[in-house]
Amino acid sequence: MSSLRSWDRARATGVCRKWGDIAKSLKKNNRPPTNVHVRENNELVDICDLSRCLSNRIIFPNRPPGVVCYAKGGWMLFHDDDIHAMNFYNPQSNEVVELPKILSHDLVDIAAFSAPPTSPNYTVFLLLVTFPDDSPDVVIWRPGDMAWTNVEYSKRHRSITSTWVNVVVRNGNFYCMNIDGYIGEFDPVKCSLRALPYEPLRCARSVPSYGWRKSVFMAEYDGDSFYCALMAWRNP
């Protein structure tokens, strides 16, 4: 089993429980990342092993429907608006963890989770689609909950009243950058969403609204700092 490539080992986990346990025990730490492209409408998955510059296309028959909206610790969070489903999936072990259905009228804009579903304590965080001038609807789920919980808050600020770009998780909290360059922080313990006390990046203001999701992206570095990547945007 240790001689197999990652995608072959993932397929082998489906043979029986014993093979699955062996494959899990062989997972290595601190190895180069694997680039995974999940196709939306079928079971095909394109995998590129960056450590050996090898790529392959395989089938994951147990993968949930929908698209990947967040990934962390080897787990992917799948979301399907058509059937209002939200599921965890591990491509290495072929495991699926189902979450409660989302309400039929809710459309998910951004999703993230603080830790893999194997952790005893984690939070799944959703921002729903709203109008630009409205406060966003925050929905969370924790292990043991029978349904999703809508979080209400009263404080309004420019950092939490417009379109979001992406979300970063650090120390269990969720940080979201919006189209105005502000960053909002959501604390799942206090169930509060607040604006970080800083002026937004000036470079973010120069990006047209129709190019924001393609031009600006926030990422975490070394668990300590936030970095904002800005790509040039030009009309054809």
Neighbours of 204 (CB within 10 A): 19
Cβ-contact 95, 104 below 8 angstroms: no
Residues 6+ apart with CB under 8 A from 193: 136, 138, 151, 153, 155, 160, 184, 185, 186, 187
* Structure confidence at residue 9 (pLDDT): 74
Closest CA to 60 of 45, 72, 76, 39: 45
What is the Cα–Cα distance from 189 to 183, expressed in whole angstroms? 19
In the chain (236 residues long), the average pLDDT of successive 10-residue segments reads 72 82 67 67 71 73 84 88 89 87 83 91 87 73 91 67 78 83 85 79 58 65 61 49
Q: Output the six-digit token pair for 157.
A: 């600020």
Q: Where are the domains of the chain?
A: 1-99, 105-236
How many Å apart are CA 135 and CA 138, to the nearest integer? 9
Give me the amino acid identity at 46: D
State how far the Cα of 137 lies from the Cα of 6, in Å rounded to an integer: 38
Q: In angstroms, rounded to a whole number, what is the distance separating the alpha carbons of residues 97 and 95?
A: 7
Count Cα neighbours of 163 within 13 Å in the Cβ-side half-sphere. Answer: 11
Is there a contact between 176 and 166 (Cβ–Cβ < 8 Å)? yes
Question: Residue 40 has what pLDDT?
Answer: 64
- Whether 16 and 5 have beta carbons less than 8 Å apart is answered as no
- Predicted pLDDT of residue 236: 45
pLDDT at 134: 63
Per-residue model confidence (pLDDT) at position 72: 86
Rounded-to-integer distance, Cα 157 and Cα 236, Å: 35
Q: What is residue 206's predicted lDDT score, i.e. its pLDDT?
A: 58
Cα three-residue angle 76-77-80, rounded to 5 degrees: 130
pLDDT score of 177: 80
Cα angle 227, 233, 236 (rounded to 5 degrees) comes to 160
User: What's the pTM value of the predicted model, to 2 decimals?
Assistant: 0.73
